[in-house]
Structure 1
Amino acid sequence: MTAILPGLLTGLSLIVAIGAQNAFVLRQGLARHHVGLVVAICAVSDAVLIAAGVGGVGAVVRDHPTALQVLRWVGAAYLLAYGLRSLWSARHSEALTPADRSARSWTAVAAMTLALTYLNPHVYLDTVLMLGSIANQHGDDRWWFALGAATGSVLWFTGLGYGARSASRLAARPSTWRVLDVLIGVVMIALSVRLAVG
């Protein structure tokens, strides 16, 4: 049981950093668009990846660098496209109406959430390899550590998604979307370049 708190804190320290996934959750929360679905996919994905790391998949990730290289380039291209699209949107941002919020189907939102989660090679390095390695240092308590880390993901994504949802009145201002789209675009392009240069 004493491994739950270290797992929670370690999980939060890795997930709180600004990244593609967090930016997307924030945007969906502000748009009040399939927030529960996005939060659930992110939290469940983290739990699965953490469990995989604790279960020993981290060794597979470490021993197959070619797979990570492929993911690196695919992820970099995806993030670049997403970033450019955000910058393009910033030029045409308007207040979000209820019709805009429902413009994307839940399947499109789910696909984008999964892509932003699993096309990022850092998720395998941080969540599977690093968290898995740290968890396994706790011996028989490693699954309690994993539970703590997974709980951290649930708390973070729920707070981010629904916190943004509660602040969604800001979405009525076109300037909010311009600023958000520019920030997201810059972050995505920076992450893309970082991935590309290794």
Structure 2
Amino acid sequence: MTGLPSYLSAFTAGLGLCFGLIVAIGAQNAFVLRQGLRREHLLPVVLFCFGADTLLVLAGVAGMARVLANRPTLAITLAAGGAVFLFAYAALALRRAWRPHALQAQGTAGLRAPLKTVMLQLAAFTLLNPHVYLDTVVLIGSVGAAQPGAAKWFFAAGTALASLVWFSALGFGARFLAPWLARPGAWRWLDAGVGLVMAVLGGVVARQAWSLLSSQ
């Protein structure tokens, strides 16, 4: 039976899962931070990152929902695999917390780059990274598709909000965030928080896999 509590739970799960996956040191985040420091083409950069994530997640959720509809065994396998992935990701995040690194971005000096050049670079950082498809289409898609009824779309809405908040904060708040993100100690706490969130979500997905198995 679905209802408001189920929808809120799905929304929160999507929010937490997406935050856990995108809040990590990487080329895309460094590029967005750099654009924020340069105050250059910020709105299209943020909208592109948000739009790409959202479309990939929606494609994953819709596609996985169709694939899993009549394949309960595959649903169990993907849920179990997703739980293992989340636990492993949590372990890696907690490991990074012991050896934190800073997020580095180029400074603000230099000529203003054309919008086309900036967007092509961002598209390459985003779409040529194979991990983005594993994260959004496969992992988030399979977890979202397993949500009952309309809850899957609340789950997708949670991931979209996480993406919008993160990239907006990283781009438009770069002047304030850059000194903090340049401190390894800040990433120690951030990675520790990500690790704990992903471990909890791994438990949720593992319980989901067990529920699917028990219903067979």
What range is the shorter-chain TM-score in? 0.5 to 0.7
1:135-169: CA deviation from partner (whole Å, max 9, x where unpaired): 0121211111011001100000000111114568x
Secondary structure of the corresponding residue to residue 139 of structure 1: coil
In 2: Cα distance, 1:138 partner to 1:14 partner: 19
**Residue 11 of structure 2: aligned partner:** 4
In 1: Cα distance, 2:18 partner to 2:131 partner: 14
1:168-191: CA deviation from partner (whole Å, max 9, x where unpaired): 8x8xxxxx9xxxxxxxxxxxxxxx
- Note the 1:72-111 alignment, pairs <5 A: 96-97=108-109, 100-102=110-112, 104-111=113-120
What is the CA distance between 1:55 and its match in structure 2? Answer: 1.1
- Note the 1:18-167 alignment, pairs <5 A: 18-56=25-63, 96-97=108-109, 100-102=110-112, 104-140=113-149, 141-166=151-176
Q: Is the 8 A contact 1:32 1:101 kept in 2?
A: no
1:33-81: CA deviation from partner (whole Å, max 9, x where unpaired): 111111110000000000010011696xxxxxxxxxxxxxxxxxxxxxx
In 2: Cα distance, 1:135 partner to 1:36 partner: 28
Amino acid in the other structure paired with 2:34: R
Amino acid in the other structure paired with 2:54: A
User: Identity of counterpart residues, as a percentage?
Assistant: 45
What is the CA distance between 1:105 and its match in structure 2? Answer: 0.3
Amino acid in the other structure paired with 2:55: V
In 1: Cα distance, 2:108 partner to 2:24 partner: 27
List gaps (5 residues or longer) in structure 1: 60-89, 171-175, 177-198
Amino acid in the other structure paired with 1:18: I
Q: Is the 8 A contact 1:33 1:101 kept in 2?
A: no
Q: Root-mean-square deviation (CA), in Å?
A: 2.4
**Residue 213 of structure 2: aligned partner:** none
Q: Is the 8 A contact 1:32 1:165 kept in 2?
A: no
What is the CA distance between 1:130 and its match in structure 2? Answer: 0.1
TM-score, normalised relative to structure 2: 0.57
Secondary structure of the corresponding residue to residue 40 of structure 2: coil
TM-score, normalised relative to structure 1: 0.62
Q: Is the 8 A contact 1:31 1:101 kept in 2?
A: no
Secondary structure of the corresponding residue to residue 17 of structure 1: coil
Runs of 4 or more, structure 1, over 2 Å off, are: 165-168
List gaps (5 residues or longer) in structure 2: 1-6, 68-104, 183-216
Secondary structure of the corresponding residue to residue 31 of structure 2: helix
Structure 1 residue 15 corresponds to structure 2 residue 25: no
